[in-house]
Amino acid sequence: MNVKKAFEVCILVSLIAGAVICCRRKETHPVSANTAPEYVLTYAENQSEGHPTTQGAYRFAELVYEKTNGRIKIKVHPNAELGDEVSVIAQVRFGGIDFTRTSIMTVSDVVPQFNVLQLPYLYRSSEHMWKVLDGEIGQEFMSYLDDYDMKGLSWYDAGARNFYTVNRKITGVEDLKELKIRVAESNMMEVWISELGAEAVPLPFSEVYSALETGRIDGAENNWPSYISMSHNKVARYVTVDEHSRIPEMQVVSKSTWNQLSEEDREIIQECAQLSAEYERVLWNQQEKKSRERMERLGCIVTELSPEETEEFRSASEQIYEQFCGEYKDIIDRIAAVD
């Protein structure tokens, strides 16, 4: 082949290869091959890959990428790669991390009104909670973040929380006495557990498994999917279905990131956050049911509380309402009135 011919073949091969790459790209993202993202933003998530909230985060990132034609790329970091929730919230506030999905337990130490939403026995049911969060009260809570360098984007589901222990069956408040129970890093959770008679041990979520295994704590409390996905079931087999609280989670964006975005991009991000939340809620329902079945198959010892036993826990929790949320009584009453 002479030099001219070789050159022509080379050009032809490059053109075909280019066309194939363009087609592939088109299949996965409706984005032109040459689009370089204008923004590459970080998203912190402390749950593992398969958890509904992490799946929601990936869906959010995909939607934003598609709807901005590749101008905004969000890189999701699961497994607490960017730190525990307390430090992530601090970083979101000063703009070091752009987005996070967080439990509102840790938000409530920064934004005191949020203690209301994590009160034990606040909601009558999951439906009641969603009516509150999807309505005007939920919007008001979102807006409270504005004063703390953050913006709330959407509510994620995290089901109901139950106690689980290494070697004691819990059927009444008395059974918690002198047990070391892990709590999330939230002032209110710490005080509440102490008032129930246990020794509250605040720890980041990622440290709970080893603390149960080494005997640093005797038990913890969380929802079914987290109990299973973090393998807590392998070291704490006694589960009490007391459903003491429903603590929602939220997607949050740093105010400093938000302020840099155009009005059009803000609308897209807001819409994608809502769509990802709807997706997460569907996954949550599926996984909550599956985790419960799986847990029973794996030999966990499950105790259901009778209405009288539940009532004992509920009345032992009353004090915390006045202590942490005395000044928000009107909001609590409005929540109770939602039907």
Stretch that binds ligand GCU, among 1-9, 55-63, 222-230, 286-294 (CB under 6 A): 222-230
DSSP 8-state assignment for residue 207: G
Stretch that binds ligand GCU, among 116-124, 221-229, 260-268, 319-327 (CB under 6 A): 221-229
Closest to ligand GCU by CB, 46 vs 233, is 46
Closest to ligand GCU by CB, 65 vs 205, is 205
Closest contact distance (angstroms) between CB of 29 and ligand GCU is 29
Taking CB under 6 A as the criterion, the residue among 222, 251, 257, 291 binding ligand GCU is: 222
Closest to ligand GCU by CB, 223 vs 276, is 223
Tokens of 225: 């999917």
In 3D space, the residue among 310, 308, 242, 247 whose CA is nearest the CA of residue 119 turns out to be 247
Closest to ligand GCU by CB, 81 vs 174, is 81
Taking CB under 6 A as the criterion, the residue among 108, 118, 226, 257 binding ligand GCU is: 226
Amino acid of residue 213: E
CA distance 159 to 20: 45
Closest to ligand GCU by CB, 118 vs 257, is 118
Closest to ligand GCU by CB, 93 vs 101, is 101
CA distance 90 to 111: 12
Q: How many other CB atoms are found less than 10 A from the CB of residue 247? A: 25
CA distance 200 to 178: 10
Q: Residue 258, interface with ligand GCU (CB under 6 A)?
A: no
CA distance 249 to 45: 11
| Cβ contact 67:268 at 8 Å | yes
Closest contact distance (angstroms) between CB of 219 and ligand GCU is 13
Count how many Cα atoms sit within 13 Å of the Cα of residue 323 in the half-sphere of its side chain.
Answer: 12
Binding-site size, ligand GCU (CB under 6 A): 12
Amino acid of residue 51: H
Stretch that binds ligand GCU, among 34-42, 45-53, 111-119, 320-328 (CB under 6 A): 45-53
In 3D space, the residue among 41, 75, 77, 44 whose CA is nearest the CA of residue 256 turns out to be 41
Count how many Cα atoms sit within 13 Å of the Cα of residue 245 in the half-sphere of its side chain.
Answer: 22
Taking CB under 6 A as the criterion, the residue among 47, 115, 154, 257 binding ligand GCU is: 47
Q: Residue 205, interface with ligand GCU (CB under 6 A)?
A: yes
CA distance 265 to 79: 28
Closest contact distance (angstroms) between CB of 84 and ligand GCU is 8
Q: Residue 46, interface with ligand GCU (CB under 6 A)?
A: yes
Closest to ligand GCU by CB, 66 vs 190, is 190
Tokens of 121: 């026995």
Residues that bind ligand GCU (CB under 6 A): 46-47, 53, 85, 103, 158, 184, 205, 222-223, 226, 249
